[in-house]
Structures are given as structure tokens and as C-alpha cells.
Amino acid sequence: CLSDWSSDVCSSDLIDGEDKVFKITKEQDEYAVATQIVNQYDKFTTFIPVYYVDGNNMYIMANASDLPVQIKKSIDLFMQDFADYAREKGGEVSIFDFIQETDSIDPVIDNFLNALKIDIDKLNIPELDLDLDFKSDNIMIWNGNMVMVDW
């Protein structure tokens, strides 16, 4: 279980022989995403697979592994640059606005963000791109791929 999810209570258990995480959230946008992506990993590949939502505030998702240190550092550097960009623009901008403006981005992060943008557009949740909790602590590795585990 990831202990740095401050607004969440979670635990990890084996269900059907697979390590899964139970997550309780107070964030309505986060739960709305889980509700839309449940049992649709083939459609939303940049999000951790969600297997069950309870209709209230709990869902069950796959457990994932930590990001390699170098990718984590690249995301942290990207987010520092994004923070500077957002301050410069003086308004609400998304990380997707920023990737259109910067040449200084790790290709691995760039590819992931482009795929994430496609998935977010499919969700059609207003302003999710602006509210997305994109940071290195919320991205992990599942089945060999980077996935958002908290959004």
C-alpha cells in the first residue's frame, strides 16, 4: 500500500491470486475517474487497472511497483519546469499545455503524457486536465508500463 496518499486509506490483499489495493477516497473527481475506467484497462492504459467500485467512495485496483529512480527524477524536473511555466502564464494551465511549449522533456515522460492526454480526453470529465494530480509519487509501474495510481 502507498502510505503517501494522505487523503486515502488503503490496504493490499491477494484476491484471485493477484495483489490488489483497496482505496477509499474523499475526492469526487478521483472516484469519478475510477468509476469510468473500471474493468477497462485496454481502453485506459495510462491508469492503473480498477477492478471494482462500490458506488460510494471505495474502489479496488491493481497493485503496482515503484518507478525507476531516473524516471522519478525526470518527472520531478519536468514538474519544476511546469511550475515555472504556470507562474509565468499567471493562470490555469495544464501539463498538456506545457508539453506543447517545451523542448526540454525526457522522451519517456513525453510519450507517457501524450498517451495520458488521449485517455483523459476519452474520460470527458470537465477540467480533469487542470485538476490532475500529476507527480512522480502518483505514477508507478504496472505490467511493465507507467500508470497513474492517483489522479
Q: Render pLDDT for 97-118 as a digit per residue (tens, 0 to 9).
A: 999 999 889 999 999 999 999 9
Rounded CA separation 140/151 (Å): 12
Q: Is 33 in contact with 47 (CB distance < 8 Å)?
A: yes
Per-residue confidence band for 20, with pLDDT thresholds at 50, 70 and 90:
confident
Helices (H), the chain: 28-37, 69-89, 95-101, 107-123, 128-131
Residue 22 phi, psi (nearest 5): -95, 130
More confident residue, 76 or 29: 76
